[in-house]
Amino acid sequence: MRPALLLAAAALTLPIAAAAQPVRVTIVNGTTQGPASADLVTLYRLGQGMEPVDQIENPDAQVTLEAPDEGSAAGGIRPFLLQATYRGVNYNAPVRLAPGETTEAAIVVYDPFDAWNEPEIGLSTWRALYRRMPGERDALRVDHIFVVQNRTEPPRTFIHDDETLRFRLPPEDLLLELPTVSSTGETGMPVPQSSFAVGDEGDYAIRTAFKPGETEIVLSYAVAYEGERYEARLVAPRASPEVLLLASPLDIDLELPPGALPGWEVLGPDQEARLTAARKFDIAAGEAVGMIFSGGTPPPAATTPGGRQLPGLVAQSEEERSAVGTIGRLPDPTIASKWALALLMAAALGFGLLHRAFGGGR
């Protein structure tokens, strides 16, 4: 075979490099309204997870990243996430790429500050839902939602090396599973947060950055409901204009513990909201918040479409605790996340109904 033909045949066997699709990024400082240079800019492809496809360290205010151009195989518009790390804080912006086109994108970052000064930054509300779940006769599911409002002008991001929000967990012998913490900010998607122990009173803290606008922190766990009774002993993480303690089903009794501070309203059951509630205005930072939950008809056990009963979370006996520790786990590890999502959706619906039923102000 001639040399030219050999070269042509060899070329046919070589892999063809995928074309790169440019993403031109402009980084804007939302505090100064001028250009900004980030510490790191990363482009993620969204799908089953977050897959980094390009990354540049210490870029200028304008930088070009590259995503693989999959052409018609991409099936049209593809979702990506642009992330800029600026002074220790990650900022995200969704980006949608059309095959074969150059994409223009902008991402806004903010200067940080570390002093919690109200009313520039503070809690706008603290709400907690205590709920009996199907098939869990000896357990209460608990979801706390702390809503942080950052009203700084010019806008800045609150971040502190030590901690940004602290909360108190129940004693270990009452916890039935490991607590989880997530934050929801400008993207509208919950992001898991790590927490760490602080002091020796059962307090934990997070270092989540609170960007301009609203951030929701959700703390979720399950506690033992032995004898159909549980006393919540909480501490306000920051000053808040209100705290709402919600319970479901309707026939759960709410009772203030001895020595409770004045100002609490036990609102009672509301048929439309399908919740019962207690409320207090003007909570001080560090103020003790307590409530006794008792009774309540447990919902019937949940079943699959085929009629199989789903396993629930059951409080351990003293013997079981001493044998395997204080943390219990669900047989199917995926059910915990499914229940958590369902609980948060139910909580969000309940909060909206409660706001209309009982009123959102004084």
Q: What CA–CA distance (Å, rounded) separates 202 from 71?
A: 54
Could you tell me if residue 149 is inside a domain? yes
Specify whether 138 is located in the same domain as 189: yes
Give Cβ neighbours of residue 73 (< 8 Å, ≥ 6 apart).
none
Scanning the chain, the segments in alpha helix (DSSP H) are 3-13, 318-324, 333-358
Report yes or no on 14 lying in a domain.
Answer: no
**Bridging pattern class, strands 180-184 and 191-193:** antiparallel
List the structure tokens of 277. Answer: 């509630």
pLDDT in tens, the chain (362 residues): 545 444 444 444 444 445 688 999 999 999 999 999 999 999 999 887 789 999 999 999 999 999 887 655 555 677 899 999 999 999 999 998 877 788 999 999 999 999 999 989 999 999 999 999 887 778 999 999 999 999 999 999 999 999 999 999 999 999 998 899 999 987 777 889 999 999 877 899 999 999 999 999 999 999 999 999 999 999 999 999 999 999 999 899 999 999 999 999 998 787 777 889 999 999 999 999 999 999 998 877 655 555 554 445 444 444 433 333 322 223 333 333 334 444 444 544 444 444 444 344 44
The pLDDT score that the predictor gives to residue 303 is: 54
Query: For residue 344, what pLDDT is reported?
Result: 43
pLDDT reported for residue 136: 79
Residue 239 domain-assigned (yes or no): yes
Q: What is the pLDDT of residue 75?
A: 53
Which pLDDT score is estimated for 203? 92
175 and 198 part of one domain: yes
Domain co-membership, 281 together with 199: yes
Residue 62, domain member (yes or no):
yes
Dihedral sign (CA 195, 198, 203, 208): negative
Look up the CATH number of the domain holding residue 208: 2.60.40
Q: Are residues 29 and 163 in the same domain?
A: no
pLDDT at 284: 96
Domain-terminating residue out of 55, 88, 109: 109
- 310 plus 343 within the same structural domain: yes
| pLDDT for the residue 70 | 67
What pLDDT score does 307 carry?
A: 52
Residue 210 lies in a domain: yes
Comparing C-alpha atoms, which of 62, 100, 60, 55 is closest to residue 81? 55
331 and 240, same structural domain? yes
Q: Residues 281, 149: one domain?
A: yes
Burial grade of 298 (CB within 10 A; 0-12, 13-18, 19 or more): middle
Q: Note whether 101 and 183 are same-domain residues.
A: no
Rg (CA), the chain: 26
Say whether 283 sits in a helix, a strand or coil. strand
Instruction: Report the domain count for the chain.
Output: 2
Domain annotation covers residue 7:
no
The boundaries of the domain holding residue 103 are 19-109
Please report, for the domain that includes residue 74, its CATH number: 2.60.40.1120
Question: Of 315, 321, 317, which Cα lies nearest the Cα of 298?
Answer: 315
The span from the CA of 6 to the CA of 26, in Å, is 47
Cis peptide before 249 (omega within 30 of 0): yes
Whether 136 and 275 share a structural domain: yes
Question: Are 254 and 327 found together in one domain?
Answer: yes
**How much is the pLDDT for 7?**
43
